[in-house]
Amino acid sequence: MAPRRRANPRWRSRHPQPATMAPASGSKKCLMDLPPELRNSIYEMAVLKDKLFDDGNTDIYYKRFKIPEPGLLRVCKQIRDEALPIFYGDNIFRCANMYSTVKFLCRLSPRKLAALRTVHCSVFTGELVYSGYLESLKAVVRRFVKDFRDSKLHLDAIRIPIRIRGEPQSRYVSCQELEDYESFEVGHREAIRPK
């Protein structure tokens, strides 16, 4: 066996070991030891879909009946209790149609429904729509409101896109705001305008 080389003292001075910070109080610090304001800031950074990424799109798409909750919500009960309202309250959830919107909402617990603030339900958004479109959409929304009336869901959270004639983009309106719009005939089609 070869003899062991001695450590060169000059090598240690040129390559110091990384410093380890010892806690000031002598005990370890963890996330739960931080003040609630700092924890909420950390939760926002961890569970909110960032506008800087994904081409400015802040929507979370609901696909295949799965709710895309971040892993942080599975760490412990206290973190879940504190971060869940931030996740469901500050993100925008997008569903492909009314059917997937109902499925999405039915899978949420009453606590998650109460925290939910914005769900975009995508429906046809053309400027000219078929005759009776707006009235049938209002009927679907009325049935939807009736189905979820006894839940803790804020009905203003459900937003439906409509296209106003002459405007370049669709606007999202809540279930209650939808009643403030009417349709009018344009040739053999209809367009939507505010009352």
pTM of the full structure: 0.69
Range of weakest confidence among 56-60, 133-137, 143-147, 153-157: 56-60
Between residues 15 and 77, the one the model is more confident about: 77
Segment 5-64, tens digit of pLDDT: 665 555 454 544 444 444 555 566 788 888 889 989 888 888 887 543 333 445 566 656
By CB atoms closer than 10 A (0-12, 13-18, 19+), residue 80 is middle
Report CA 184 to chain centroid distance, whole Å.
35
Query: Rounded mean pLDDT of 159-183?
Result: 83
With CA atoms as reference, report the closest residue to 154 among 109, 188, 119, 125. 119
Rounded Cα distance between 195 and 173, Å, is 14
Q: Does residue 184 have a pLDDT over 70?
A: yes
Between residues 164 and 188, the one the model is more confident about: 164
Length of the chain: 195
According to the model, what pLDDT value does residue 108 have? 85
Query: Rounded mean pLDDT of 146-153?
Result: 80
Rounded Cα distance between 95 and 152, Å, is 19
Rounded Cα distance between 87 and 98, Å, is 22
Query: Rounded mean pLDDT of 56-81?
Result: 74
Could you tell me what percent of the chain has a pLDDT over 90? 5
Query: Rounded mean pLDDT of 70-76?
Result: 87
- Asked whether the beta carbons of 155 and 176 are under 8 A apart, the reply is yes
